[in-house]
Amino acid sequence: MNADLILEASGISVHAGSQRLLRELSFTLRAGEVLTILGESGAGKSLLADALMGNLPAGLVAGGEVCIQGQRSAARDARARRPLWGRKIGLLPQEPSLALNPVRRVGSQLEEVLQLVRGLPAHAAAEQSAAQLQAAGLSASGAQYPWQLSGGMAQRAVASMALAGGASLLIADEPTKGLDAHWRDHVTGMLRTVAETGGAVLLITHDLRVAEALGGRLLVLRAGELIEAGEMADILRAPSHAYTRELIAADPAHWPVRQAPVSGPLIVQGRGLSKAFNGKSLFQALDLDLHAGERFVVQGPSGTGKSTLGNVLLGLLRPDAGSVIRAPGLATTALQKLYQDPVASFPPRQTLGSSLRDACQLHGEAWSALQGRLERLKIDASLLTRRPSQVSGGELQRIALARVLCARPALLFADEPTSRLDPLTQRQALELLGDAMDESGAALMLVTHDEDIARVFGQRQQVFAAH
């Protein structure tokens, strides 16, 4: 047995009753190594992490054997690995700001790990906690509450806590979901540090850019099956499986740049727009013209006023100063919005069909025209008998797109329409959105935190910088 062998997974599988969700999978992870599991949602990536931790939802059964730093247990025996939590396996939670307890100070949440898990006496735990916070660049945050930290600070605090108990295996499940390039690099750097200081990292992601930056080995999962395994660089250079090639092509960095259409008459004009929120100025004295057919992309980190600008142009928010002038002759419903969370933009207890019929009726459109549009958006008619919660996010966002086009918008404001979708679905949804806009000749204002999407989509860009 090798001393630096940290994780040995042999024949890990997950079943729900007789249904197999994850096919037997074996791999090892040594100190200093990074292993990335790549796949779209539903591929079984998170199930694998849960099975290793011993944290599967009720009703799911793991098979195979797990050996963590010499401690061998059956994968089914979740209780055997519970004592290893924090001590040998650390889990980096998906949303660090939610993982911290809002009513307790950051320092005490780290201190308790050192005291209760590591077994340090109180004063030593306090000293050590202060030292670790300082090392993470959080020396002033020990006395703060989690909601007083920025996203990146919370991310660092959570990482310190996950590792404070002495864990050498860090499982990171989608640690970069919804983060922009800046924070993505930050997380990547942090994970690399863990590996460089003798730990091992198991990264679960659908974001190829993180995987690429971290290097190491790669496993590609699809629908619970392993379809490709090997060194990251080799696979990225010469993927052997068609699905892997598709995944790589779905990375926004590899998208072809869209042809900009010819722009037409002026639709909306903003003059001297200013808006502040909670005393923080989001934009000031901004002049903006939007023409028919134009692709205007607003890009920047969250909380910088991207959505606010769109809402001001649509007339959903009043600017603090300046004015928004609509082209004369526009219908009152000519400016439309596509929301970030499609589930929240449909009435939950109505079937999708009845929601769409209402929209048709409201805007005086023939049902057959909408049906044709759904067909072009590759939405099967049978989905319309379901409720919003019963279809996938990608499908629902396309249905939302079909619905918003009922109003024949002259300007469509799409607010992060695909940030919750995985790359394959995201690419498909955005391409359909672009095609629909080209076809209708409407202006598109697209808000995104993804600089690659902004690059391929934007004919004109407005970048909001972090404050």
Query: What does the binding site for another protein look like in residue numbers (CB under 8 A)?
Result: 53, 55, 85-87, 90-91, 93-95, 98-104, 112-113, 116-117, 145, 147, 158, 161-162, 164-165, 167, 278
Structural Rg of the chain based on CA atoms: 25
DSSP 254: G
Q: In what order do the strands lie in the sheet with 460-463?
A: 335-338, 411-415, 443-448, 295-299, 460-463
| Axis crossing angle, helix 151-164 with helix 122-135, rounded to the nearest 10 | 140
Alpha-carbon distance of 452 to 427, in angstroms, equals 12
Angle CA 178–183–184, to nearest 5:
70
Three-state secondary structure call for residue 352: helix
Instruction: Name 202's bridge partners.
Output: 35, 171
Do 209 and 180 form a contact (C-beta atoms < 8 A)?
Answer: no
The helix (run of H) or strand (run of E) holding residue 19 is strand 19-30
DSSP codes, 432-463: HHHHHHHHHT-EEEEEES-HHHHHHH-SEEEE
Judged by beta carbon, residue 10 or residue 94, the one nearer another protein is: 94
Shortest distance in whole angstroms from residue 117 CB to another protein: 4
**Residue showing tokens 């002049």:** 287
For 440, residues 6+ apart whose C-beta sits below 8 A from its C-beta are 405, 408, 409
Judged by beta carbon, residue 170 or residue 247, the one nearer another protein is: 170
- Nearest CA to 182 out of 411, 467, 384, 373 is that of 467
Measured between alpha carbons, how far is residue 76 from residues 42, 56, 69, 95, 132 in Å?
Answer: 21, 10, 18, 27, 35
Shortest distance in whole angstroms from residue 162 CB to another protein: 6
Alpha-carbon distance of 335 to 267, in angstroms, equals 9
Token pair of 230 as six digits: 């090997």
Alpha-carbon distance of 215 to 209, in angstroms, equals 10
Alpha-carbon distance of 335 to 101, in angstroms, equals 41
